[in-house]
Amino acid sequence: MNRRRIIMDVDTGSDDAVALMLACKSPELKLEAVTVGWGNRPVEDCVRNTLKVLHLVGRDDIPVYQGCPEAMVRYLNGKFVSSCHVVVDGVEHSIHPASFNIPAPDRGPEPQHAVSFLVEYLMKQSEKITVVSVGPPTNLGMAFRLQPAIKEHIEEVVFMGGSINRGNETPVAEANFCHDPEAAKIIIDSGVRCTLITLNATHSAEVTREDIEKFERLGTPEGRFTAELISIRLDAQVYLGFGDGKSDALHDALAIAYLVDPKVITDMRKLHCDIDIGRGAAYGMVIADQRGNARYEEINSQVSFNASRQKFVNMLLERFAGTDR
pLDDT in tens, 276-303: 999 899 999 999 999 877 666 689 999 9
pLDDT of residue 323: 57
Q: Cα separation of 280 and 270, whole Å?
A: 27
Q: What is the mean pLDDT of the chain?
A: 94
Angle of CA points 315, 319, 321, to nearest 5°: 115
Kindly report, residue by residue over 20-57, the tens digit of the pLDDT: 999 999 999 999 999 999 999 999 999 999 999 999 99
Residue type, 10: V
pLDDT of residue 325: 40
Distances (CA, A) of 23 to 4, 8, 18, 126, 207: 11, 9, 9, 23, 18
pLDDT of residue 104: 97
pLDDT of residue 85: 66
Assess contact for 175 and 169: CB atoms under 8 A: yes
pLDDT of residue 322: 80
pLDDT of residue 294: 66
* Helix ranges, 147-281 (H): 175-179, 181-188, 199-203, 209-218, 221-240, 251-260
Assess contact for 282 and 276: CB atoms under 8 A: yes
Q: Give me Rg for the CA atoms of the chain.
A: 18
Q: What's the distance, Cα to Cα, between the start and end of the chain in Å?
A: 12
Provide the percentage of residues in the chain whose pLDDT is more than 70.
Answer: 96
pTM summary value: 0.95
Kindly report, residue by residue over 124-152, the tens digit of the pLDDT: 999 999 999 999 999 999 999 999 999 99
pLDDT of residue 185: 98
Q: Say which residues have a Cβ less than 8 Å from residue 194's Cβ, sequence separation at least 6.
A: 156, 157, 158, 159, 187, 188, 273, 300, 301, 302
pLDDT classification of 2: cutoffs 50, 70, 90 = confident
pLDDT classification of 239: cutoffs 50, 70, 90 = confident
Closest alpha carbon to 318 in 249, 276, 257, 237: 257
Closest alpha carbon to 106 in 153, 60, 47: 60
Instruction: Find residue 316's DSSP bridge partners.
Output: none
pLDDT of residue 90: 75
Provide the percentage of residues in the chain whose pLDDT is more than 90.
Answer: 86
Per-residue pLDDT, averaged over 205-228, amounts to 97
The single residue of 85, 153, 179, 251 carrying the catalytic annotation is 251
Q: Cα separation of 297 and 234, whole Å?
A: 43
pLDDT of residue 324: 46
Distances (CA, A) of 166 to 4, 57, 198, 282, 284: 32, 35, 10, 11, 12
Does residue 315 surpass a pLDDT of 60? yes
pLDDT classification of 93: cutoffs 50, 70, 90 = confident
Q: Which CATH superfamily is domain 4-319 in?
A: Ribonucleoside hydrolase-like (3.90.245.10)
Q: Is 251 part of the annotated catalytic residue set?
A: yes
Closest alpha carbon to 48 in 129, 102, 124: 102
Assess contact for 184 and 274: CB atoms under 8 A: no
